[in-house]
Structure 1
Amino acid sequence: MSVAARSGFVARGLIYVLVGVIALQIAFGGDGGGQQADRGGALGELAGQPLGSVMLWIVGIALAGMALWGLSEAVFGGAGPDGSKPSRRAAALFRFVLYCFVSYSVLSYAAGDRGSGSGSSDRQSDDVTARVLDWPAGQWLVGAVGAAVVIAGLWMSVRAVRKKFREELRGGDMSGRTERVVDFLGVTGGTARGAVFAAAGVFALVAAVRHRPGEARGMDDTLRGFRDLPAGPWLLAVVALGLAAFGVFSWCDARWHKV
């Protein structure tokens, strides 16, 4: 499982770095090279590189490895004395489900289904929100999901600021300087990632309250929303650099995460 988990961290890091680069281009008036600042945009950017098709297959398989690692920890427990706690097993099960979906979308895209992994997160968010709002009590359900995403985003940011990620890393294998760099990347990247999640949850709440599916936003529109605020371009640039930092932190995870 060690190889599967570490390859998954590398693939996740690559996606976040690419999203951060696209978002940084958008921050200062560009269109991100015509790409969306989300997973789909990152895959499109990757596909346009030399040997892009091969790289997509590698990323998809690596993310499948991350899913298998999550399943293993959910069933057998994770590393460390707290690895068998119900909360840790539940988080691992969620990771399994999430990365099954992400891996499937990437592999489908690599296989030629261009409507799969590269679809706009904004359009997908609108479509899903519209369908759910038409259900009985759909407005309450969208609101509950939005609130849950806000809470999850805030939890990510608080956890990053408190450097809780240290518990999952082999800090003893790092030099003092390396540990400081990893701390900086973990705090900066985790805070930015949490902020994006929380902002997306707020938009979902607004969509529920106003009963307007178009108010819900995927990652790309959420990031572009930062640009529309006062000092927006600079704020988006900070968030973009934070997402890229989380990508680099994921590569550190690949090296030092306890598996």
Structure 2
Amino acid sequence: MSSVDVAMPGGSTSPVLLFPGGDRPLVMLWPGLGMGARYYRPIAEALAASGFPVAVGELRGQGASTAVAGKDQQWGYHDLASQDYPRSIRGARRALGLPEDHPTVLLTHSMGGQVGALFLARPEARELNVRGMMGVGSGSPYFRTFPNPERSRLHLGGYVMQGVSRVLGYWPDGRLDVTNYGRQSDVHLGEWARFGRSNRLSDLRGADMDYMAAMQDVRCPVLLTRFSDDTYCTVDSCRALAELVPAEVEEFPGTLGHNSWARHPDVVVDRFEAFVASL
């Protein structure tokens, strides 16, 4: 494993972890909210052993990213989809010695898949020869797709988190971080809260396109999966995201929940192999 630092707007850098493989499509893996890239090392190593070159990005402000959310440093869904995702793919390809048009498949977790759905709708995804996306635990935070008490927690908690981050200019880390998401941008968190209330990714700060319309036009294959005991991503939440970007929804039996599959990767690696073979 090695890494390459990718420059981001505002002077920050996001390291991308690199796992050289064979000549198969590049796997660009994106974490969930509050998750650092290093957590995904076991699944990245397993995929590399299967012949895939693998890169693991950081969501801005998380893990080893040098961005620090504050009143003067903000980002949202559009910034991640239009800047972080394409820059990281380009940086990974250069560092791995891959051609500029090397086929790429996204493997995403939770928030990484929400941003991934927006990225697939952008022209950069086509320019970068992105062939498809498989999400694990990647669904919509729409509160109506969850049973209680999670439904109430998402609905009411979204208002509280949005209010706190608006006052401070960011969602705090440390003792006040009851979510364990770490420090987060007020803009991103506010957009996530609105998404959770409406199941719409509209009115995104700085958006240069109609994402809701463009997502409906995505034609590359998208597979949204979840484990049967994942309380943070229900089947209905996957279906809600599939209403925005055309996707198949699939459930894995087992007890790997929302996060543990990344450390025990056999089930996901096998399904990913089959997904790539179908592209």
Task: Identify whether the pair has TM-score above 0.5, normalized to the shorter chain.
Answer: no
Greater percentage in helix: 1
Tell which has more relative contact order, 1 or 2 (C-alpha 8 A, sep 6+).
1
Q: TM-score, normalised by structure 1?
A: 0.25
Bigger radius of gyration among the two: 1
